[in-house]
Structure formats: structure tokens, C-alpha cells
Amino acid sequence: MTTLGDREKLYTSAAHDPFDGRHHGSIHIPVYQTSLFSFEKYDEFLQANQDLQHRHVYSRGNNPTVRYLEDKLAELEGAEMSKCFASGMAAISAAILSVVRAGDHVVCVDQAYGPTKQFLRDYVSRFGVTTTFLDGRSTEEIAAALRPNTKLLYLESPTTMLFQLQDLEACARLARSRGIVTVIDGTWATPVFQQPIRLGIDLVVHSITKYISGQSDSLGGVVSGSKELVGRIADMEYMLLGGVMTPFTAAQVERGLRTLPLRLERHEGSGLAVAEHLSRQPYVLRINHPGLPSHPQHELAKRQMTGSSGLFSFESGESVETMRAWADRLRYFRIGVSWGGFESLVTAGPAPNGYAVPGARSLVRLHVGLESADDLVRDLDRAWAEAAAEAEAGR
Ligand SMILES: *Cc1c(COP(=O)(O)O)cnc(C)c1O
């Protein structure tokens, strides 16, 4: 049975903290801007050193401001424990390295975040770890790719260029029966719309940089899961690779986290409205948005997610040059990487080999921000009319 998280409850989790007398009832957690913690007596110091993850000794292990954010994210995720990192990639690389040893094999979806794939293909491979990349939409295909030495199944659902899904419950069941650890990058859905731990996935990673922060001013990442698996990461990759989140960043992210459910509902509504409008435009061949009934995996999306965020793509029969000229004319959609902030963004590139619909020449990705959806739709239409008129005049 699928257990979807209760969206309403997340509002309370995000907004509420119990009264804490240690901080004089302060509404925010103070920023413990300190690298180390000192002791009055040597015995206490020695004792604290026995438990670097729970006592306060050094901020590369445990800082109260960062820990506050970690506990909050674990609660939202339905996980026993979370650790926050300096970036999404720091979290992802730590999660992968915590699982694999020389001689192991990894199965990874081929539409996963580019640097994640590069890390597996060009970096971890140096230590004798091999990776098979595959589509991931068919659990049978994943099952067929598993080998006796497969130790990690790395998922990203939905993916963030083509918005393909994996069946998380089926993948978790399959992996568990073979003693394989599952890791998912859940950045697109956030814990508000998808809670993979409840579906049996072992470790969930997010780029906090995107929706969880939501302010486009901080980099961060998080790994969540069981005390056993995340505790091991805390002792090893967190401490030894040292890509930790600073207390200041944790405090900034805390501000963003308060409004995460609220912001996502807005991104969802506007994202669907803009996507529906685009689906009727002649320059759009196919929309890739899991929240639309036209998405081939819409039923699965409804089964394992409670909503959709504001990032999606479309394939166009127009050339990359035409779509970039259109992007140049957009006023509210700014040209740039990343997403998840309050601002709308656009990128345009070639249609991906092997996945695009026949006739597609370009792939455009839009992030629908918190502006008026009506303004955004008018912006898209006006820019298209101008770009088309210019192309006509140039003919
Ligand atoms: C941005 C992103 C990452 C990497 O996060 P950083 O914070 O930039 O290191 C990982 N996965 C996905 C899906 C992303 O969009």
C-alpha cells in the first residue's frame, strides 16, 4: 500500500517549533557562528569527544544551527535522520561514496542530473566501481541490469530535463530483495510532494539550493534516511570529506523552509496553468510535465506524489536558434541555470537524442516562479509573436 504523506501536516511541521527555553523563547534558532565549542573541565571534553555527532565539539561534526535544520528536514521527509551539506553535489557524492566499494556495480537512471552521472562515470570509476545507465521507466529493465555485485540503485524521479519517473515502490522492493541500497534525488518534488522513505527508498538526497531554500541565495544539500545509513555518512563522508553546511547558510535556509509548502502550491498552480497554455501553442510538440494528464506516467505520478512543482520542459519543432531568440525576448523569464527560487527562468537547447518526439529540434525548460501566471502567459505569447514577426521579416 502506498502511503502518501499528509500535505496539511507539513504546514505545521514547517511553521511550528515548540517553545525552547534555552534560546529565551526566540522564534528563530540562533546562528551559532562558531567553529568549535569549549569546555570548563577536561573530563567533560573527553566525554564529548566520544560522541562527536551529538555533543558539541567542532562544527564539522555537529553545529546546533545546522542540526536544527537537519532535524526539521528529517521530520518533513519522514526520515530518522538527515545531514546537511555545502551543496547538492556534496550530499550526492557523500551518499554514493557511503555505499560503494572497489569492485561494486551501480545502476543509475540515464536522465539523472549531469554532474551526478559524471561523478559515477568519470570519478568513482577510478576506484574500480562500474555503472550501468538505463532509462529507468521500466522496473523490468532495472531488474535485468542488476548483477551479483550491484550495491547501489541510483534514482532521480522525476528527472529534471524530461521529467521521467521511476516506480519507487517497485524499485525499493526489487533492490531490498537483493540487498541493494536505493538512493533517490528528489529535488524536483521536495518532501512536500514526495516522501520516498515512506515508499521504501533507503536514502533521499535534495539540492537545497532549489525549492527548499527557495530564495536563490544559498547553496546546500541534504541526505536523509535511517539512523544506521545516515549515521555512517555523518561519521565518514561528512567528517572526512568535510563538505558541510555553514551555520549562516542553515539559518538562511530555515527562513526559506518556513514557506516551502506555501510556495510549492503556488508553483504547482502556476506551473500547470502555464503548461496547459503552452500545450495549445503551435510551436509546442510535446510538454513534459508529470502533473498533466497527457504525461505518459501521470497515473504513476499521482500514485507516488501528491503534487507537482513549477519546473517542466517542452519539445519544439522550431530550431534551437529560434527558441533562443524567443527566450531573448522574454521579460519575466530570465535566462539561467538552476531553479526553485521565486523567479521564472528559461533555458533552450537541442532535443535529446533517443527521447524526443519525431520532428522535435529543440527542448525548452521553464521554471515557473511566483509571478502572476497571467503575466507569464502574456510574456510567452508576446515574445513568440515578436520572434515570429522578426523571423518573417528576415525571410
Ligand atoms: C541542482 C541539482 C543538483 C545539484 O545541486 P547543487 O546544490 O547545485 O550542488 C542535484 N540534482 C538536481 C536534480 C539538481 O537540480
pLDDT of residue 5: 62
Domain 4-257 has CATH 3.40.640.10: yes
Domain ranges in the chain are 4-257, 260-393
pLDDT at 353 over 90: no
The protein residue with its alpha carbon nearest to ligand 1, atom 6, reads: 88
Name the residue at shortest CA distance from atom 4 of ligand 1: 88
pLDDT above 80 for 395: no
Q: Is 340 in the pocket of ligand 1 (CB under 6 A)?
A: no
Query: How confident is the model over 246-259, as pLDDT tens digits?
Result: 999 999 999 999 99
Q: Where are the alpha helices (DSSP H) in 80-138?
A: 88-99, 114-118
| Residue 113 scores a pLDDT above 50 | yes
Residue 188 pLDDT greater than 70, yes or no? yes
Q: Among all chains, which residue has been given the C-alpha cell 542553515?
A: 250
The predicted pLDDT at position 337 comes to 93
Distance 22 CA to ligand 1 centre (A): 35
Measured between alpha carbons, how far is 248 from 216 in angstroms, rounded to an integer?
15
Question: Chain-wide mean pLDDT for the chain?
Answer: 96
Which DSSP letter does residue 244 get?
B
Q: Are strands 81-85 and 221-225 parallel, antiparallel or unpaired?
A: antiparallel
- Ligand 1 centre to CA of 91 (Å) is 10
Strands 203-207 and 221-225, by their bridges, are: antiparallel
Rounded CA-CA distance 14/37 in Å is 29
Q: Which atom, in ligand 1's list, is nearest to the CA of 159?
A: 13
pLDDT of amino acid 151: 98
DSSP-H helix ranges across the chain: 7-15, 42-49, 64-77, 88-99, 114-118, 139-145, 168-177, 190-193, 227-233, 239-241, 247-258, 260-279, 298-304, 320-329, 373-394
Q: What is the per-residue pLDDT for 4?
A: 64
Over residues 146-177, the pLDDT tens digits come to 999 999 999 999 999 999 999 999 999 999 99
C-alpha cell at 49: 569527544
- In the reported structure, the alpha carbon of residue 114 is separated from the centroid of ligand 1 by a whole-number distance in angstroms of 9
Does the CB atom of residue 160 touch ligand 1 within 6 A?
A: yes
Q: Which three cell numbers stand for residue 79?
A: 526520515
Q: Does the structure show a pLDDT above 80 at 6?
A: no
The pLDDT score that the predictor gives to residue 3 is 53
The CA distance from 89 to 92, in Å, is 5
Say if CB 222 and CB 85 are below 8 A apart: yes
Q: Are 344 and 369 in contact (CB under 8 A)?
A: yes
| CATH code, residues 260-393 | 3.90.1150.10
- C-alpha–C-alpha distance, residues 346 and 63, integer Å: 37
Q: Check if 136 has its Cβ closer than 6 Å to any atom of ligand 1.
A: no
Q: Whose CA is nearest to atom 7 of ligand 1?
A: 88
89, 116, 161, 211, best to mutate for ligand 1 pocket (most atoms within 8 Å of CB): 89
In 3D space, the residue among 130, 205, 200 whose CA is nearest the CA of residue 171 turns out to be: 200
Ligand 1 contact, 218 CB (< 6 A): no
Q: Is the CB of residue 221 below 6 angstroms from any atom belonging to ligand 1?
A: yes
What's the gap in Å between 53 CA and the centre of ligand 1? 26
> How much is the pLDDT for 128?
97
Q: Provide the pLDDT confidence category of residue 2 given band limits of 50, 70 and 90.
A: very low
**pLDDT > 90 fraction of the chain, expressed in percent and rounded:** 93
- Kindly state the average pLDDT of the residues 181-195: 98
d(CA 6, CA 224): 19
Q: Is the CB of 82 under 6 A from ligand 1?
A: no
Nearest CA to ligand 1 atom 11: 113
Does the beta carbon of 113 sit less than 6 angstroms from any atom of ligand 1? yes
Q: Per-residue pLDDT for 180 more than 80?
A: yes
Ramachandran angles phi, psi of 335, nearest 5°: -85, 120
As a whole number, mean pLDDT of residues 98-104 equals: 98
